[in-house]
Amino acid sequence: MGEFELIRRFFVPLANKAMTDQLVLGPGDDCAIQRVPEGRDLVFSVDTLVEGVHFPANYSPFCLGWRALAVATSDLAAMGATPVCFTLALTLPEAQPEWLADFAQGLAKASDNFGIALAGGDTTRGPLAVSIQVHGTVTQGSAIRRSGARPGDLICVSGPLGAAGAALEFLEATAPASDEKAVLARYHFPEPRLALGQQLIGRASAAIDISDGLLADLEHILEQSGVGAELDANSIPMLPELRRLKGVAALSLALTAGDDYELCVAIAPDQYAALAPEVQGGLIIIGRIQQASGLRVTGADMTESPAGFDHFGRSV
């Protein structure tokens, strides 16, 4: 199957239903065309998933399609952006119709769920890798950055942590038990917190999506904001299934494991109080921003190094 037949058969159908007032021209020309409304800023980001680094060999193509788009779209959520469109660069060792059909279905399901349209892309031969660039918009000057945290801000997360990291142990299980299925679902089908991100516009001081682990990603906020933080280990939300599977090791996963794609948010106490009724438990307080530099975790003995995932360093 040639490149153009591959695109026509599996990916053009995704794009044909996705034209919007902002996506003026989708796949089929030299470029796509996005119209940015007056008073809006364009927000964009790119993520790459590589076989053997971000997912195992023989990973479900349906899950890969969903996961690749979710991972990229989560960055839009962190900045409070409204998704518009994405481009796909797909590198394949060979064009297998069954694999491509399943991948396209996963991608289409995620596209529908996240409200983001396929604008175009590219395919080439090589080791399996998926690169997705996402485009969104925010009201001009309103994007939530990592650099705005202030002493006294509350540190919150949008949901339970650590389960996706625990799932790595069970990815090749042929008959996972009930608790294992619960953590696997967090790995296979992450949910970008898009609605919450948009609610945080004008309220949050800073935000980041948790891709490389809570401690590692919170450090980015602290460094760029010039502040420190203290976390309460007893407040870190975790799935009960994770606690049953991992016991005392669950906390280490919640602090350091990646792939959760929840939001970590710094927000002033009065803003939190105003927002809390709207999000109905969707922001859990786990600590506070402090003037003194450094990141401290209270309420637990940290016997392991608080490192997150680093592509060119090491991972937990």
54 known member of a binding site: yes
Q: Is the pLDDT score of 292 beyond 60?
A: yes
30 known member of a binding site: yes
pLDDT at residue 316 in the model: 27
pLDDT at residue 17 in the model: 56
Q: Are residues 170 and 275 in the same domain?
A: yes
Beta partners for residue 266, in sequence order: 155, 206
Q: Quickly state the pLDDT bin for 310 (edges 50, 70, 90).
A: very low
User: Taking the complete model, does pTM exceed 0.95, yes or no?
Assistant: no
Extract the tokens encoding 41.
């800023």
- Does 13 fall in a domain? yes
| Nearest CA among 73, 222, 244 for reference residue 166 | 244
Mean pLDDT of the chain: 91
310 known member of a binding site: no
- Does 314 fall in a domain? no
74 known member of a binding site: no
- Does 312 fall in a domain? no
259 known member of a binding site: yes
Q: Is the pLDDT score of 305 beyond 60?
A: no
CATH code of the domain containing 230: 3.90.650.10
CATH code of the domain containing 43: 3.30.1330.10
Cα–Cα dist 116/43, whole Å: 13
211 known member of a binding site: yes
Cα–Cα dist 157/275, whole Å: 14
pLDDT at residue 2 in the model: 62
121 known member of a binding site: yes
What's the DSSP call for residue 7?
I
Residues of the chain with pLDDT > 70, as a percent, come to: 90
Cα–Cα dist 151/17, whole Å: 47
Cα–Cα dist 216/206, whole Å: 15
- Does 307 fall in a domain? no
- Does 148 fall in a domain? no
pLDDT at residue 98 in the model: 92
Q: pLDDT tens, 53-99?
A: 999 999 999 999 999 999 999 999 999 999 999 999 999 999 888 99
Q: Quickly state the pLDDT bin for 9 (edges 50, 70, 90).
A: confident
Q: Are residues 132 and 159 in the same domain?
A: no
Q: Are residues 252 and 120 in the same domain?
A: no
Q: Are residues 159 and 293 in the same domain?
A: yes
Q: Is the pLDDT score of 205 beyond 70?
A: yes
Q: Are residues 163 and 72 in the same domain?
A: no
- Does 93 fall in a domain? yes
What's the DSSP call for residue 304?
S
Domain end call among 105, 139, 173:
139
Q: How large is the average pLDDT for residues 130-142?
A: 98
Q: Are residues 56 and 32 in the same domain?
A: yes
153 known member of a binding site: no
Spell out the residues 6+ positions from residue 295 whose beta carbon is closer than 8 angstroms to its own: 215, 218, 219, 222, 228, 229, 230, 231, 306
Q: pLDDT tens, 153-170?
A: 999 999 999 999 999 999
Q: Are residues 8 and 87 in the same domain?
A: yes
pLDDT at residue 26 in the model: 83
Q: Are residues 194 and 272 in the same domain?
A: yes
Q: Are residues 60 and 123 in the same domain?
A: yes
What is the extent of the structural domain holding 80?
Answer: 3-139
Domain end call among 106, 139, 172:
139
Q: Are residues 111 and 229 in the same domain?
A: no
Number of domains into which the chain is organized: 2
